[in-house]
Every structure is written in structure tokens, then in C-alpha cells.
A and B are shown apart, each in its own frame.
Chain A
Amino acid sequence: MKAEDTELLKEFSKEQVKKLNSIIEKFKGKPGGLIPVLEEAQVVLEYLPISVQKKIASGLNLPLSRVYGVVTFYSFFTMTPRGKHTVRVCLGTACYVRGGKAIYEQIEKQFGISEGETTPDRMFTLETVRCLGACGLGPVVVVDEDVHGRVKPGKIKEILSQYN
């Protein structure tokens, strides 16, 4: 393992860094390789902090600015660690008028995180969505794949405590 990987090893395991190296190797010199590399890297590393982007830029011989531009453009990519579970609060019109906003604020307050952020214990990442097509169930909160309908702010703690 090279010296330039030291920074990476502060954050990731030896195994993960090794995988990242082989992903970069696979796409080296291939045009259009950046997005697939970022995609696969995120699967292995869960998120793409500065150290990873630096590594990918130097590995693919691309300017760091380009890598950063792509990472910030696509909502799929994230520079902050993701929680084990993703909590999506619907703020579409129907859910909004039925109190979606209050639910969102309740989570913000209880877990101390805002949109796109992750709890310090890396359990939950908070996101918002605009309409999931389940307006009849509004307000809706989706945790991972599970849809919770007619949620009340007071119920949030109970719902999320099922996930660990």
C-alpha cells in the first residue's frame, strides 16, 4: 500500500482502500470512467470524502475540481457519511398540509440533524422528498423501504426506535 493511502486509512479499513485501488485501476485511462468509479467507490466506502476524491482524481489523472463538480452535481453521491437507515419525510403538497413539516421539525429537534445530515452514531440520515404518490396515507415517513403513514410528531420516537 502506498504512502498516499495513509490519509484514507484514517477513515477506512485496509480492505476498503484495497478495493478502491482496484476500482480505480479498472477504469484507468477509459473515457467516461469517473462516474462509474465514484458509484462503485461509494458502494464500498459509503461516502466520498475529500481524501477519496483526491485519490480518484490522481488515479484517473483528472483535475480535482472536475471530480468535486460531479460529486456535488448528482444527488446520489454524498460527501458525508450515511447513516445505517435513511429517513425520508415527505413534504409534497398533501403531506405538507397534513403536517409533514411538523414531523420533519420534530426529527430535526430530537436527533439534532438537518436535511442531508447523519446522526453522530451513524444510525440515521435525514432526507426530504416531494411526494411519494401515497398522498392518501399522508403525512408519510419512509424509513429505508418501509412506508409509515398518518404519522404524528409524537410517534416519531417510537417508529425510529424499531430500527437499530
Chain B
Amino acid sequence: MSTVKLTIDNRQVEVEAGTTILEAARSIGIKIPTLCAWTERNHTPGACRVCMTEVEGQRSLVAACVFPVTEGMVIHTNTEKVRQARKMVVELLLANHPQECNFCVRNGNCELQKVAEFVGLKEVRFEYTKFPKEGMIDRSSPAIVRDSRKCIECHRCVTVCEQVQTVSVLTPAHRGSDVKVVPAFDLPLIESNCVACGQCILVCPVGALYEKDDVDAVWKALQDSTKHVIVQEAPAIRAALGEEFGMPPGSLVTGKMIAALRRLGFDKVFDTNFTADLTIIEEGNELLKRVKEGGTLPMITSCSPGWVKFCEHFYPDLLGNISTCKSPQQMFGALAKTYYAETADIDPKDIVSVSIMPCTAKKFEAQRPEMNGSGFRDVDYVLTTRELGRMIKEAGIDFEALDDEDYDAPMGEYTGAATIFGATGGVMEAALRTVYAVVTGENLPSLDITPVRGLEGVKEATVEVGPLGKVKVAVAHGLGNARKLLDKIREGNADYAFIEIMCCPGGCISGGGEPIPTNDEIRILRSDALYKDDGSVQKNRQSHENESVKKLYEKFLKEPLGHQSHKLLHTKYTNRGTDLPHRKNG
């Protein structure tokens, strides 16, 4: 690789040819403000013009995020001309942005605010545009709200939807000042093929995309003394919630989270991990049944509702490959209003079942009409990690100062196998531990199955499972990676027995409901927290060792894949196709 020498702010720097000014400046610790750029995925449309920089010999200022450096280039990032230009750019952006910062969901965590601070903006001399809310806010989806008024046209959401998730729902449409990011034909999100993964929310620099807020409904339930309000939290919450309170990424806050939920007024604090262990028992047995009886293989995991909806839209021919197991959230919901209601002697109609999820697609999943196995809505409300963070702040709880507390019985015990569900490869690892033990009667020689860990897009492993011989498995995270495996299955070239697919890059720890920012560095730290929970915090590391799950089978379910399981823990899928509902033109 050839390198070039150049000067930035009177400092010499040598970088690879083809490097942009932005990267070169960063490499020597010079900060240039950016807004539209999302460098982690090479998204630099050069659209916002905030990164204006002066290059000697150039007629006008250049956008540092897209301008490649050349030999001998002399760059100034902090001249009067540069400072004025950047200020003007931000001023113009703000003149076209609703002045609602005080009650915006991204207040205090907004890149536009940060950039305004960076450039030292003191006033906006232009009259603010008055924005009609009518027709500009799309609340059609149960998971994601789009507020086009706040959109600054960075198109990061388009890139993540199209390039990373390959769902391609969002597109810039129209031209010039009319440009708007929309689903095809400006249809409401709910009528598009949106899988509700919420990755667009994670990359949005402002408050143009956010989760549908269900906090008020949960406050109302908590206030209602006739209701018994219980809560479950996905594994990924404990590895990320601390970030909402300024704790470093990767802080494992299980005990504080439980304490905070009790202070919010939840009557029982349970754990989605309990039903994650249950999922492994059901799914493991389903896999063995398929292998023995010649069922559809490879079997694919069903925990990730964004992935399930993706399959229903884009690969309906492979729905038979997806495990019929409900996701841990929905298993929990179905048991909460049956098993738990019975055990605690509470009328299920008085139970309000809340779940805390790293995920926006879980909001969609909870509303699927078939998710009423208990005779009631199995899960009443789904809150994201961010929504829970807001509730805790609103309640005036000093999160970091809380003493650790423990889960309630009978749906709070979990093993290390359950907690790693939150990271890509985790379900596979958990399943292999139990399948191996069920088949051979012994534990895996090492419970750590490292080939399925980490951020590699598609991972493969082969495990020798006693009489079953070599079992080949694969793991994909992010729907673009999932496509690679799914196309292989379609072509008949997939010799795997079992595949784990997680909708979001990195798995649930970077779901669309997780704290912002979420990037690869933070993904790894959150995953590490879960592997620490598995490796050194939890006593048991295999799902079949969960005593509460054993008791659940003894007292209630009787056997894996049995009659009760079939009724409460398994589900079926819908071919949604990619076609839009028929609409008249216009």
C-alpha cells in the first residue's frame, strides 16, 4: 500500500493513499464535526456539509468526509473561514428543523445538538420553519415512529435498511427541497415489508426515528391497585441498561436492574432468561426429533422476531425450517397467565405482563394475533431498554447507587446458557450444551464453544455429538448475513443441522431498543458482559440444570413437546410475501 505525506494544521502526517481528510485528521487527534457520516459502515454521502475544511489551492472549502488526501496537501481545519462556514451550515440545518429539543426523545443524546455545540453556534438568524405535524409523523407501526419533520437527510437509515439488513424499506424519494425518506409510495410503515428491527433508530442522529413509546401505559398499569403487574427482562438489558445512566458500556447491572424495577412498583420481577432456558429444552428436543424422524432440516432458531418477520416476507418457502418454538418473551407471556397465575393463585385477567426488551420488533411480536395461548394477550406491553431507562429517571431513582437485588420465584432462575442468548451465537452455544448432554448423558468436554462467538458475519462449527456423529451448525447475525445462509438452503447446499439467525448485527445486545450509541466496539463490550455472566457469575451453565424449569415440567408442562407445550410454547408462521397491500394510485 502506498502512502502519502501531507500537512494538517501545521502537523505532518503520513497516511495510506485514498484516505479521506476526515480519517487523516482523526489519526492525529484532530476532530472535525460530522453529521451525515457513519464511517463504521462507510456511509459518507457528503450531504450535510458540516465537515467543511480548507485545502490550500482549492477554490472552495471541501467536505472532509469524502475528500481524499494527496501528496503534499496542506489542510487547515480551524481557520476563520472554516469556522464561519460550519456555523452557517448548522444554522441552516437548524432553521429547517423543529425547535422541540426540550421534549424530543433524543434530547441530550442528539448529534445535531452536539454539532451545534461543537461549532459554537449562538443564534439562528433565520425564521424557523413551521412544521405541520399532520402527515409528517408516521405512527402506523406498533414498533417504530417516523417523524419526517426532524429528518436531516443523512440517509444512514436507508443504508442500514438496504445494505446491512437488506430489507430495503426506506428510500429517499422526490427531489430537491422535497426530498423525504419514506417507504415505497410514501406508504405507512405498517404496510411496508419493514421487519421492525429498529436498526434505523440506532443510526439516526436525531429524533426522526424512535420506538413507539409505551411508558405511559405501563405507568397506568403500575398505578392500578387491582392489577398484578409482573415484568421480564431479556438478557441484553442487563448488559446495556447502565449506559443510560452514564455507566461504561459492558457494565453488567442485573442486580441494580432488579432493584430499580421493584422500586418502579412491579409486583414480581422475573426473567426472560428463565424461558430462554425453557426454549433450549423445547428447541433442543425439537431438533433431536427432526433429526431422528427426518423432519425439515436445517432447523433455524425462532427467538428473533425481526428475523421471523423477515422470513415471512422474503423467504416464505423456508418457514418450515424455523423452529415452532415461540420466542422466550412469548413463552414467558403464555406461562405468566397460566402456570404463574395458578401457582400464585391470581386471576390471570388481573395480571399485566410487561417485558423489557432490547428490541423494537418484540413490540410487533407481542401484538401478533396468535400470541394469546393463555387465553389472554400473553404479553401486554413491551418496553425497550431506552424506555426503561427513561422510567427509572422519571421515578428519581439513583440507579448507580442501588444495592443488588435478586429475582423472584418461580420464573426468575436462570443459567449461563440463557444469558448468552443476548449475543450472536449464544442460542447455538446454549443449545449445543444441552443437546450434547441429552444425547450422550455427559457434558461437553468444554462448555465454551468459541467458534460461534464474535462479530464475524457468518460462523460455522462442527461438534461431535456421540451417536449422532458430526453435527454441523451455522450462525448468522444481521439479515444481510442471514440471506447468505438462506440462499444456501434454497440452493440445497446447506449441510447444517441447526442454524441460529439473529436479526440485528451482534445479536440482541445491539437490538433496535438498546442505548444509543451502539457501535461495534460497544457490541463487543456488551457481549463480553454476557459471557462474563455465563462464565463466572452463574452457578449453572446448562439450561437443563435450571431447577425452576425442571419444576415447571414436573408440576405443569409434564414433558418437552407435550400437549401443554404445544398449546402454550409453540406457534406457527404466516406467509406475508413481499407484495404490498393493493392500493389505488396516488
Q: B-contacting residues of A (Cβ < 8 Å)? A: 7, 49-50, 53-54, 58, 63-69, 72-75, 79-80
Contacts and interface: CB of A to CB of B under 8 A. Distances in A.
B579 interface: yes
Contacts of B175: 72-75
Given A68-B173, A72-B175, A73-B174, A7 B582 contact: yes
B185 A50 contact: yes
Contacts of B170: 65
Interface in B217-276: none
Contact of B168 (A53, A66, A72): A66
A80 B584 CA distance: 12
A49 B586 CA distance: 8
Nearest to B173: A72
A58 B184 CA distance: 14
Contact of A80 (B578, B583, B586): B586
**6 shortest A-B CB distances, which residue pairs?**
A63-B168, A65-B171, A69-B171, A64-B184, A68-B184, A72-B173
Given A64-B578, A75-B175, 20 more contacts: A7-B582, A49-B585, A50-B585, A53-B185, A54-B579, A54-B580, A63-B162, A63-B184, A64-B168, A64-B184, A64-B580, A65-B183, A66-B162, A68-B184, A72-B174, A73-B172, A73-B173, A74-B175, A79-B585, A80-B586
Contacts of A64: 168, 184-185, 578, 580
A65 B579 contact: no
A67 B184 contact: yes
Contacts of B171: 63, 65-66, 68-69
A43 B169 CA distance: 28
Question: Interface on chain B toward A: helix, strand, loop, or mixed SS?
Answer: loop
Question: Interface on chain A toward B: helix, strand, loop, or mixed SS?
Answer: helix
A66 B579 CA distance: 15
Given A7-B582, A54-B580, A80-B585, A65 B174 contact: no
Interface in B177-204: 183-185
Contact of A69 (B172, B580, B583): B172
A54 B586 CA distance: 14
Interface in B526-567: none
14 contacts: A49-B585, A50-B580, A50-B583, A58-B578, A63-B169, A63-B171, A64-B168, A64-B184, A65-B168, A66-B171, A72-B173, A73-B173, A73-B175, A75-B175
Contacts of A75: 175
Contacts, number: 52
A103 B171 CA distance: 37
Most chain B Cβ neighbours within 10 Å, of A53, A54, A72, A73: A72
Interface string B565-581: 00000000000001110
Contacts of A7: 582
Contacts of A74: 175
B168 A69 contact: no
A7 B171 CA distance: 24
Nearest to A81: B585
B45 to A, nearest CB: 14
A94 B162 CA distance: 46
Contacts of A54: 579-580
Contact of B173 (A49, A58, A63, A69): A69
A63 B162 CA distance: 9
A80 B579 CA distance: 21
A50 B581 CA distance: 11
Contacts of B583: 50
B164 to A, nearest CB: 14
A75 B185 CA distance: 16
B98 to A, nearest CB: 24
Nearest to A68: B184
A117 B580 CA distance: 25
A147 B431 CA distance: 76
Contacts of A69: 171-173
Contacts of A50: 185, 580, 583, 585
Most chain B Cβ neighbours within 10 Å, of A54, A63, A75: A63
Contacts of A67: 184
Contacts of A68: 171, 173, 184-185
A67 B173 CA distance: 10
A53 B174 CA distance: 15
Nearest to B192: A65
Most chain A Cβ neighbours within 10 Å, of B169, B175, B582, B585: B585
Interface in B150-181: 162, 168-175
B527 to A, nearest CB: 31
Interface in B412-463: none
Most chain A Cβ neighbours within 10 Å, of B168, B173, B184: B184
A49 B184 CA distance: 12
Contact of A65 (B169, B582, B585, B586): B169
Most chain B Cβ neighbours within 10 Å, of A50, A53, A58, A79: A50
B146 to A, nearest CB: 14
Contacts of A49: 585
A31 B46 CA distance: 24
A68 B183 CA distance: 9
B158 to A, nearest CB: 8
A12 to B, nearest CB: 13
A139 B572 CA distance: 67
Contacts of B173: 68-69, 72-73
Contacts of B162: 63, 65-66
A80 B586 CA distance: 8
A64 B579 CA distance: 9
